[in-house]
Amino acid sequence: GIVVCIFLQTMYHLIADPPHRNENRNIPLLISFTIALFALGMVFISMDLTSLRLAWVDHRDFPGGTVAYSFSQYGKPITVIPNSCAVIGDWLAAGFLLYRCVIIFHMNFIIIAIPLLMYLGSIAMGVMILFQSSRPNANLWTKTTVNFGIPYYALAAALNVVITIMITTRLLLYRRSLRNTLGEAQAMSVPFASIASMLVESSLLYAVTSILFLVPYGLKSDVSNIFIPILIEVQILAPLLIIDRVAKRRGWEKGTATRPPTSLKFQHTFPQSGMYDTE
């Protein structure tokens, strides 16, 4: 429910709300990206729920139980399609965060070289895990796929953590420079200086959820099944929150650190009356 609400809110701000939306040439691309990411998530959720209904309701008397039935469906569209949507959604979400990292670090590709290599490695491992998990009688927990499953999810989680640390560090340094230059009160009025803004811009929620899934998955615990749908939801939600800030012109853009913050307020004194005007 919350993902749908954030999606609709983001689309509204992208299409109808910003008064200067025509100045941003990236708006059509952001709209397409938002729709694609949301569609992948909805396909995963709908087909995953269908798979659960088939396993626990329609075929609850399957020899070996519901787990055996679920394993028997690997390699079939009912399982391959949602798995593909989950992996492709992760590629899109991680790619968007990497793009935001490029923007925040002013197109300095030397700084983001390591995250970029990790992202390319994540794509390669994602292709391999999709190939292995789509084979008949295989799944993400069997011996035929665990060698690709753990490296893929570990690399994806590490990438999220690295990007989160990099973006958070950059925003903290920016906040510190504002406090030293403008003072505490004015610095806190800047959209990028608040703790909440840092949490959204750095996609901390995505990084934490990735770790919560990776630990039980690496231990081959069934607890990891609890975090799979949560992880898919978060990988949609995290970019949407950032895009929503961009649509409202509160997200970090090119040149943010080199121009005066637009939210600063200054007082003008009228010599004759001694009155103040704030703008």
From the list 144, 153, 97, the residue with the least C-alpha distance to 126 is 153
Residue 169 lies in a domain: yes
Residue 260 lies in a domain: no
Radius of gyration of the chain (CA): 23
The 3-state secondary structure of 32-95 reads HHHHHHHHHHHHHHHHHHHHHHHHHHHCCCCCCHHHHHHHHCCCCHHHHHHHHHHHHHHHHHHH
Other CB atoms within 10 Å distance of the CB of residue 279: 7
pLDDT digits (tens, 9 = 90+) for 208-236: 999 999 899 888 888 888 888 899 899 99
Residue 56 lies in a domain: yes
CA 28 to chain CA mean position, Å: 19
Residue 273 lies in a domain: no
Residue 279 lies in a domain: no
pLDDT digits (tens, 9 = 90+) for 150-184: 889 899 999 999 998 888 888 888 777 777 776 66
Per-residue model confidence (pLDDT) at position 145: 45
Q: If you average pLDDT over residues 191-211, what whole number do you get?
A: 76
Residue 264 lies in a domain: no
Per-residue model confidence (pLDDT) at position 124: 92
DSSP, collapsed to helix, strand or coil, labels residue 24 as coil
Residue 278 lies in a domain: no
* Count of domains forming the chain: 1
Give the pLDDT band (50/70/90) at residue 267: very low
Decide if 50 contacts 78 (C-beta within 8 A). Answer: yes
Decide if 191 contacts 249 (C-beta within 8 A). Answer: no
What does the alpha-carbon distance between residue 26 and residue 140 come to, in Å, rounded to a whole number?
Answer: 37
Structure tokens at 126: 């994602």
Residue 265 lies in a domain: no
Asked whether the predicted pLDDT for residue 202 surpasses 80, the reply is no
Range of the structural domain that residue 38 is part of: 2-253
Least confidently predicted of 25-29, 62-66, 82-86, 255-259: 255-259
Per-residue model confidence (pLDDT) at position 258: 54
Asked whether the predicted pLDDT for residue 93 surpasses 50, the reply is yes
What does the alpha-carbon distance between residue 200 and residue 1 come to, in Å, rounded to a whole number?
Answer: 19
CA 18 to chain CA mean position, Å: 23
